[in-house]
Amino acid sequence: MQNTSIEDVKPLEYYFEETSRILVEVEPFYVPERSNPGLKQFFYAYKIKVTNRSDASVRIIHRHWKIKDGNGKTYDVQGSGVVGEQPMLKPSESFEYTSFCPLHSPYGNMRGKYQMIDEFGNRFWISVPLFFFRPPQELLELLAAKETDSIQ
C-alpha cells in the first residue's frame, strides 16, 4: 500500500446539518497508514467545517460526541471547544478542523453537538449530523478473503 498523507485522502461521504443558522459539514474517511485490520485497529479521521450563517458572532465552547463501533459498544466523549480551541466565528465565517476516531471494528458512527455562545451571552446547542465510518471496498474484500481462508 502506498504511503499517503491525510490531506491526500478523499472522503467517501459528506454529511451536513444546520441548527440555529449554524451549518456543520462532515467528511469522514479511512486512514490506512494508521490502521492494522489484522489487529482489529481501524483508524478513521473526519473533517468538520462549521459556518456561521447567523447575524451574530458565535463561539464554540463545548463538544459532546456519541461514538458507536460495529461491535455495538458506545463511547461518550465531552470536552471544552474543539481540537484545543474555542473558535469565535463572525457572521459568514467558517472554522475547519480534522480529528480522529480509532475503532476496533471496520464500521462505526458518530453524532454530536456543540454548545455555542453568541456575542450577547446566549448559550445554545447545535447538532452535528450522524455520520458513518465505513471502510473502503478494497479493505472489505481483503477482510472477506481472510475470513474465507480461516474457515477452510
Q: Which residues pair with 108 in a beta bridge?
A: 69, 133
The whole-number pLDDT of residue 34 equals: 95
Q: Indicate whether 124 belongs to any domain.
A: yes
Q: Indicate whether 48 belongs to any domain.
A: yes
**What mean pLDDT value characterizes the chain?**
89
42-89 tens-digit pLDDT: 999 999 999 999 999 999 999 999 999 999 999 999 999 999 999 999
Q: Indicate whether 49 belongs to any domain.
A: yes
Q: Indicate whether 122 belongs to any domain.
A: yes
For residue 147, count CB atoms less than 10 angstroms from its CB and return exposed for 0-12, middle for 13-18, buried for 19 or more.
exposed
Q: Indicate whether 19 belongs to any domain.
A: yes
CATH code, 120: 2.60.40.1470
Number of domains in the chain: 1
Q: Indicate whether 60 belongs to any domain.
A: yes
> At 13, is the secondary structure helix, strand, or coil?
coil
The predicted model gives 89-116 an average pLDDT of: 97
**DSSP strand pairing (15-19 vs 22-30):** antiparallel
Q: Does pLDDT of 143 surpass 70?
A: no
Owning domain of residue 55: 6-151
22-49 tens-digit pLDDT: 999 999 999 999 999 889 999 999 999 9
pTM confidence score: 0.85
Q: Indicate whether 102 belongs to any domain.
A: yes
Q: Indicate whether 1 belongs to any domain.
A: no
The whole-number pLDDT of residue 2 equals: 43
Q: Which residues pair with 131 in a beta bridge?
A: 110
Q: Provide the grid cell at 109.
A: 458512527
